Structures are given as structure tokens and as C-alpha cells.
Amino acid sequence: MEIDLSEKPVKPKKWYRALYFQVLVAIVIGVLLGHYVPDKAINLKVLGDGFIALIKMIIAPVIFITVSTGIASMSDLKVVGRVTGKAFAYFLTFSTLALIIGMIVSHLIQPGAGLHVDPASLDPKEIQDYVNASKEHTLTHFILDIIPKSLMSSLTGDSILQVLFVSIMFGVGVSLTMPKSKPVLDFLNALSHPIFKIVEILMKLAPLGAFGAMAFTVAKFGLGVLVKLAGLVGTFYLTSAFFVIVVLGAVAWYNKFNIFKLLRYLKDELFLVLGTSSSEPALPGVMKKLEKAGCAKQVVGIVVPTGYSFNLDGTNIYMTLAALFIAQACDVHLSFQQQVLLLLVAMLSSKGAAGVSGAGFITLAATLAVVPDIPVVGITLILGIDKFMSECRALTNFIGNAVATIVVARWENQLDEEALREALK
């Protein structure tokens, strides 16, 4: 029995009832309120945090059901290993390319040149929490953290990789014990319907969450800081746009789909990511839409959750761009060997950064700590604008994972070409 996640034909919604429009309006109102009434707007953080918490509550069941039923329904379990291998090959290639592009752009534009900042004049207390968090961000800690304390604890925690690990193991277990385990598979297939209905209900609160998150961000950090560091913010946004349109656009063209049509198809999720500065709230929606667009359930179930930790194109662009911005601002000259070291360290530290707001800043602190020539205290220079840059990081990460899923599905001959064309219309 297969999960039928397809939607029944319905009349197109009125433009003002579309989720993306409501979220966009909420973002605009949030920005205005945060700018003009900051003392009131700063208290609206609870709306954004509450919405993200609600979505995170349902992410584990969505991943568990999608992955376990997808694998359990497969006759050849070798496909799981093959899909995972191809996904990681894609992730490694384009994550590294994103790091290199960020480094090249920082050399060409040099957004930090001429600031002549004395590191001794910066206050390290402002970034102490991020530095402390970065000390725990080691490869060993990350690998061990994939293994949950118990089978059930993964479903009650907040680690996507733990849920994915248990889901794959459970799906393999069900597959290897068929037909005795068929009642279990039937139950999970039936359970998918109320789970995805809950997702649909929660998404109606998206405008409220985006409104609260944006109002708080503007109220706390202010739009003025964007003007002061407009060079770095603009460079980052333009570089990310180049990566999406040119690099991912070329990948999409080679695999016979249009990047702009894909962005239009995922517009609800994109505006949700923009409003909350996090790609996690959009995870259930993008998994459902990619299945509807013809990607096999098992491919979606493996590539999307894994990509949320290993395929962070936006975070990678940000890390090398921000690191060299700090070096330029503090008049630190890095040799070619030091820049290669920075690239290698960033390649490792970026893996496992969760798709939540602020993770990019923590991984940046972890990277700079290993390259002593760049003062870690220099990240205080971008502390004020990091929140505004996190939207772009999350959007680029999200788009990169959507493209990766379609590409891997095509590589595996697990893509319904007609369904993809129809969805992207």
C-alpha cells in the first residue's frame, strides 16, 4: 500500500488567500512595526519562536513515516545505499563549490577593505555565547550525536539526523521481515494522512510566525546596521543569487528542468523561509511538493533530511565570505596556504550545521578558532547584520536541497518526468 500524498483537484485560491502572499504581507507589516514601534515589536519574538516550535514538533513524525515506509516498500535495499552515496557525492561537490565561490568573490570585491579595525577595540563579551557553542561543534561530537540514546528518543528530540538514522534502520527492519511486518507498514501508511493534515493546519499560522519573527529582528537589530555594512550584505546576497541562478540554474538545465519554474513552484515555502530565517519550517512542505513533482518517496525521504545537515550552500558561501571580510577589515593578510586551510576547516565545520537560525554564525566562530591569524573577536563586526543575512543563508540552503533531490532522483531513474513537468507548469 502506497501513501497517497497527492492533492485532490481544487479550484485555484484567490490571490489574497495564497500562503505566499499572506506571509509576504506579514513580513512587510513586521518590518514596519519593528522599525517604527521597536519597544512593542521586540515582544513579538514569541510568535516566531512559537510557530517554529510547532513545526519542529511535527518534523520527526513526517521524516519517520516518509523514510521508513519508503524503504520498507522497496524490494532492493541496495537502492538505499546507492541513493545515499549519490546524494553525498552531490553534497560534497556543490558545498565545496559554494565555499570556493564565496572566497573568490571576497577577493574580487573586498567588502572589508579599508575599514582598518583594531581587534583590541572590539568587545569579546558580545560573542562569548557563540564562541562557547562553537567549542562543542567538533566532528567527533557531531558523529556521536547522530546515534540517539534510544529508539524512541530520536522521535522526541530535535536532531534531524537522529530521526533519519532511526527511520532508515526501522525501514530496513520492516523490509527484511516482510510479509510478517505488513500490518506495521499498513499502519504507518494510514498514519501519514492525519500527520500531513496536521502540517496543513499548522501552515495556516505561518503568516503569524513570519510577522513575529521579522518584527523582533528589526526591532532588536534595526535597519540602520544594514546601511553601515551594506557592502557585505549586498555582496552576500548577490553571490547567493549568482549561485542559485547560474550554478544551480545550470544544474537544473542539464537535468531538463527550469530553476525559475522550480522557485515559483516552491514560492510558499520560500516566503516562509524568508519570514522565519529558518529552513526547518518549510521541510514538511517541500518533501510533500517534491513527491508530488515526481520524485520517488524514498529519494525525497533520504536526500531532503540529509541535505539539511550536509548540503548547506548558503552557509558555505557565508562562511568564506564573512571570514575574509573580517580578515580584510582587521588588515590581516592571509597567505595562499592559510586560505586553503580556511577552506578545508570550513568544509568540515559546516557539515552538521542545523537548518535553524544562527547556526551559520556558530560554525563561523568554530572555523575562525582553527585559523588563529583571523581574530575570532572580529565576528562582532557582523553580529548586528547576521540576523539579516540568515534569511539569505536559509533560502540558498533550501533551494540547493530542492535541486539536489530532483537531480538524485533523476540519476536513480526515480523521477516521473511527466509529473515534474506538470508540477512546474
* Each residue's pLDDT tens digit, 137-163: 555 666 677 788 887 877 777 677 788
Q: Say whether the peptide bond before residue 179 is cis (omega within 30 degrees of 0).
A: yes
Q: What value does the mean pLDDT of the chain take?
A: 82
Distance in angstroms (rounded) separating the CA atoms of residues 38 and 41? 5
Q: Where are the domains of the chain?
A: 15-424
> What pTM was computed for the model?
0.82
> Which is nearest to 209 in space by CA: 270, 280, 275?
275
* Each residue's pLDDT tens digit, 271-320: 888 888 778 888 888 989 999 999 988 899 889 888 887 888 988 898 88
pLDDT of amino acid 138: 56
Highest mean pLDDT among 46-60, 132-146, 221-235: 46-60
* Each residue's pLDDT tens digit, 231-251: 888 889 999 999 999 999 999
Residue carrying C-alpha cell 522550480: 262
Distance in angstroms (rounded) separating the CA atoms of residues 166 and 152? 9
pLDDT of amino acid 7: 47
pLDDT at 70 over 70: yes
* Each residue's pLDDT tens digit, 3-43: 454 445 545 567 667 777 888 888 889 889 988 888 888 88
Distance in angstroms (rounded) separating the CA atoms of residues 335 and 62? 47
pLDDT of amino acid 185: 87
pLDDT of amino acid 217: 80
89 vs 123, residue with greater confidence: 89
Cβ–Cβ contacts within 10 Å for residue 9, how many?
5
For residues 162-176, give the mean pLDDT.
86
| Beta-ladder partners of 415 | 295
Q: Which of 52-56, 159-163, 256-260 has the lowest mean pLDDT?
A: 159-163
CATH of domain 15-424: 1.10.3860.10
Beta-carbon contacts of 255 under 8 Å, excluding residues fewer than 6 positions away, are 406, 407, 410
